[in-house]
Amino acid sequence: MAEAAGGPLPEECPGPRSAQAGRAAACQGCPNQRLCAAGPAAPASAEAAEVRERLRAMRRAVLVLSGKGGVGKSTFSALLARGLAAGGAAQVALLDIDICGPSVPKMMGLEGEQVHQSGSGWSPVYVEENLGVMSVGFLLSSPDDAVIWRGPKKNGLIKQFLRDVDWGEIDYLIVDTPPGTSDEHLAIVQYLGAMRIAGAVIVTTPQEVSLQDVRKEISFCRKVKLPIIGVVENMSGFVCPKCQNCNTLIFTLSQNESQIFPPTTGGAEKMCQNLNVSLLGKVPLDPRIGKSCDSGQSFLAEAPDSAATSSYRSIIQRIQEYCDQHHLQEEKII
C-alpha cells in the first residue's frame, strides 16, 4: 500500500484485506502486489485465528505511525505507554515492530534485557508490573547489530510477537511502527484486523517536508480502513526549560525568535482541517525529553513542570477517552 514509482496508487485499489488483493487489475505495477496477494488467504486465516486466540484478552490496540523518520514516533509511543500505565489501573503492553531500528528498549530503560521462554510462550520484559515491552532489540546480541532482513522475515517476526508472546490480559496494546507504509504496516493491520483495534495515532513535525509523508500515511489508513484517532504535532516550537516564570513558547515572545521547524504551509493544524482529521495536540521541544530517553527514564515523571509534559498528558487523555468510547460502541454491537 505504498506509492508506486509512477505516482499514487489508483483509487480502485481493493485494499490488502480484500479477496482480490494483489490479483485485481488495479494491483498491476504496485510494489506491494506480491505481499497483498499472499495476504489473508486460506492458510493465513488459520494464522489470524491463532493471533486472535493469543490476544483474546486484549481490549484495544493503538498503532503509532509516522510517514517520516525522526519525528519522535518512538518517543511518543514510549511516553503514551508510560502515561496509560501510570497509577497502575491499566495493564499496558508496548510492542516495537520497528525491526531495523528498535529504540524502545533504550527509551524504556531495558537495554541489555533478554526475552525468556516459558511453557506459555515468550515473556515480555516488564518496566513495571503493569507495563510489558517486546522488541527485536531484546533478541540481538548487541544493540549495535544490524537487522538485515527482507519483508517476509520481518512479517514472520511480527506474527511471532503477536502469537507467541504471553501478553496476558491487556487494556492497551501500543504498537510502535517504523516510518512509511510498507511490509510491517500491512502485516500488523492484517494480523490485528479482526481484533479490537481502536485506531492509529499519526506523529508529525510542523514543516511541509514531514506533512507530505503524513498525508500518505493518512491515505494508507483510509485505504486499509484503519480508523485515525488523530495527529500529534511534535517539536512544535521550543520551550526554555530554565525560565522560571515563563511556560510559553519562546518564539511567541519576540519577533527576533524563530521556530525550529517553521510551519510554512500551516503545520499539522491546517493539514488536519483540510483532511478532516482530529489534531490531538502540539508538543513543544524540551531538551529534557532526549535526556530522559537516553537514560531510560520517564520524561513525564522527570519533568512534571514542563509545557511538553502538559501537552503529552492532554493528548494521552484524549486518546484514552477515544479508546473508552470505541470500547463502549463495540460492546453495544456485541
Burial 57-82 (b: 16+ CB within 10 A, else e): ebbbbbbbbbbbeebbbbbbbbbbbb
Q: Please name the residue that has the C-alpha cell 508490573.
A: 129
| pLDDT(9) > 70 | no
Domains, in order of start, for the chain: 56-333 (3.40.50.300)
**Residue 161: its pLDDT value, please?**
93
**Residue 231: its pLDDT value, please?**
98
> Residue 58 is which amino acid?
M
Q: Residue 189 corresponds to which cell in the numbers above? A: 493491520
**Residue 118: its pLDDT value, please?**
82
Using one digit for the tens of pLDDT, what is the confidence trace for 137-170? 999 988 889 888 888 899 999 999 999 999 999 9
- Return phi, psi of residue 251, to 5°: -70, -10
**Residue 35: its pLDDT value, please?**
67
Q: Which residues contact 8 (CB under 8 A, 6 or more apart)?
A: 219
Q: Where are the alpha helices (DSSP H) in 164-306?
A: 183-192, 208-223, 267-275, 287-295, 299-302
